[in-house]
Amino acid sequence: MAKLAVIAFGGNALLRSGQKGTYEEQIKNVTETCQSLVALVKQGYNIVIGHGNGPQVGNVMLQHEAGSQVFGLQAMPMDFCVSETQGSIGFLIEQGFRNVFAQEKINRNIVTIVTQVVVDKNDSKFQNPTKPVGPYYTKEKADEYAAKTGSVFKEDPKGNGWRKVVASPQPLRIQNIDIVKKLALDGNIVVTVGGGGIPIIEKENGLIAGVEAVIDKDLASALAAVNIGADEFYILTDVPKVYLNFKKPNEKALDVITVAEAKQYLQEGHFTEGSMAPKVRAAIYFVESGGKECIITEAGQLDNPACGTRIVR
């Protein structure tokens, strides 16, 4: 029976440091990542893909703001912007795979599902939003928007200005995950939980509503992996392994670590919040919830059976 794997695309799979985010740059990056994933496809894996959307959703918010200021169009809320990027990035991934498969003479379907993810409306993180999104503003402009919209703005630690911040609540349930599983087990490559999923809350009488929030894409992908019973969970990033003392003289690459060791390294502060810490937490969640192993690596390493850092029980 074919193995089932969930792969979480890191930001560099779509947009790399120093790039502007043009269509040409993004389709080139995505196609290269898809080419790397062919190694798993040729090994007979069934694949489900999650992806980030940080730069893309920021650009969409800029476009909405410009449309509002110049043409008087309504700027759409965060959940709507996430849905836009799910569709556009899904298109890029589908195009990348179809072109690679045409060259490799591989016959597989690729389908993107615009995915909602349920969060708790009482999640404590809504009381303390910390996730920066969208463009930078002056203090005066941020105060103006805050008074007008009720949004929260915080100063960038690097001095680039003020940015809107939203909550990053825990993902609880992925809508249509059973359909994702069936499609994947039938041999289709499925793109889901894009950008961590469109955050929604459940109201009375089964009603739902989108919320101003961003769900961590690695954690949402880990939840998807658990829900569909994936054998393996891959988190693709821009380094081949996880490191202790990263970029220091005593830097050490990790090959295989246990969940207990991963927790210890987290507690000791080896992994930063803006980089490796969320990935390691997602790996821990997957393995503790019944997964066999999580592999954190860069896409170009996937043709090596011993690639990356492997987190096991």
Interval 44-62 mean pLDDT: 91
pLDDT at 16: 83
Q: Are residues 83 and 103 in the same domain?
A: yes
Tell me if 234 sits within 8 A of 5, measured CB to CB.
yes
Determine the average pLDDT of the residues in 286-310: 94
Report the pLDDT averaged over residues 259-272.
96
* Domain boundary residue, one of 111, 140, 166: 166
Do both 230 and 156 map to the same domain? Answer: no
The model's confidence at residue 83, banded by pLDDT at 50, 70 and 90, is very high
Active site residues: 11-12, 131, 217, 279
pLDDT of residue 273 exceeding 80:
yes
- Same domain for 91 and 190, yes or no, is yes
pTM of this structure: 0.94
Task: Give the pairing of strands 309-312 and 256-258.
Answer: parallel
What is the count of structural domains for the chain?
2
pLDDT of 40 strictly over 80: yes
Mean pLDDT of 106-117: 97
C-beta of residue 64 within 8 angstroms of C-beta of residue 76: yes
Give the residue among 167, 185, 284 at the shortest CA–CA distance from 228.
185
Do 199 and 293 sit in the same domain of this protein?
yes
**Residues 6 or more apart from 197 whose CB is under 8 A from it?**
82, 115, 116, 117, 171, 174, 215, 220
Q: Which residue has the tokens 């954690």?
A: 219
Same domain, 206 and 285: yes
State the CATH number of the domain containing residue 75: 3.40.1160.10
Q: What angle do CA 145, 170, 174 make, to 5 degrees?
A: 105
Whether residue 146 sits in one domain with residue 292: no
pLDDT at res. 290: 96
Please measure the distance between the N-terminal and C-terminal CA atoms of the chain and give it in whole angstroms. Answer: 23
pLDDT of residue 262: 98
Length of the chain: 313
Q: Would you say residue 278 has pLDDT above 90?
A: yes
The answer to whether residues 24 and 152 belong to one domain is no
CA 294 to chain centre: 15
Q: Residue 265's pLDDT band (boundaries 50, 70, 90)?
A: very high
Domain holding 141, by residue range, is 129-166
Same domain flag for 158 and 205: no
**Rounded distance between C-alpha atoms, residue 235 and residue 215, angstroms:** 16
Does residue 150 share a domain with residue 107? Answer: no
Give Cα separations from 298 to 36, 38, 79, 138, 242 (angstroms): 9, 14, 29, 37, 10
